[in-house]
Amino acid sequence: MAEILNGILLALEKIFSLDRELLNVSLLTCKVSGAATLISVVLGLPLGFVLSLTDFPGKRFVISTVNMGMGLPPVVVGLVVSLFLWRDGPLGFLELIYTPAAMILAQAIIATPLVAAFTLAALQQVRERYSLQIAALGATPWQEFWLLVREARRGILAAIIAGFGAVVSEVGASMMVGGNIKGETRVLTTAIVMEVSRGRFADAIALSLVLLFLLFAAVFLLTWLQQGGEREL
């Protein structure tokens, strides 16, 4: 109990004193996870749209692959990305290993199947409910598409929330491809693991509280957008 209290007090002290290291780690966390989420949205949303609104041979196989991707172990993703980015790997010439770019790549791979799968589920549900009504109104394919997206917008925002939550709390892949280098690739999750390994539990708790605050702030914003226009009962 004393460790928890010390961690809370330490977190408050570092936050209100604008501790430089904490600010740098927190800022890098936001940059890496934010960029990874953006990439996953750019890739995952169109994939979800295509899978939900079109038919083609092998569609069930692709959907099964996307759904399987939702459970991808981060350490496996980290291993694969490391093998590709290592100096003698296929992409070693890019010299991205142990850089924030490598962490963004790994996290984007983790989040993209989540965004795609949640988007697919949201659109499929809406399409089953409204497709006949939309067709009866004589809507063009583009009009149908935008109407379905509009009706499924809350589910799509839930997909983005899920993607961001997965990457901001991820540690295995980030450690493997980033190396947890101070001032370079150290983010909140990897810093927490390091502090625990050193037995500095108060510092680990302080970092954990900051991570939870950042997660809550981002999810609160997305949830506000998701629930926008609805009055609370």
**For every one of its 233 residues, what pLDDT tens digit does the chain have, with 9 covering 90 and above?**
677 777 778 778 877 787 888 889 999 999 999 999 999 999 999 999 999 888 889 999 999 999 999 988 999 999 999 999 998 889 999 999 999 999 999 999 999 999 999 999 998 888 777 766 766 666 667 777 788 888 888 889 889 999 999 999 999 999 999 999 988 999 999 999 999 898 888 888 888 888 999 899 888 888 887 776 455 43
Element (H or E) spanning 12, and its range? helix 2-16
CA distances from 103 to 22, 38, 95 (A): 19, 14, 13
d(CA 156, CA 116): 9
pLDDT number for residue 106? 96
d(CA 102, CA 20): 24
| Helix 201-226 / helix 153-168 crossing angle, nearest 10 deg | 170
d(CA 47, CA 211): 30
198 CB-contact burial (10 Å; exposed 0-12 / middle 13-18 / buried 19+): exposed
Contact at 8 Å (CB) between 173 and 106? Answer: yes
Question: Which domains are present in the chain?
Answer: 2-71+99-226 (1.10.3720.10)
d(CA 116, CA 45): 6
Contact at 8 Å (CB) between 180 and 186? Answer: yes
Contact at 8 Å (CB) between 196 and 189? Answer: no
Q: Which residue has the tokens 């290993």?
A: 97
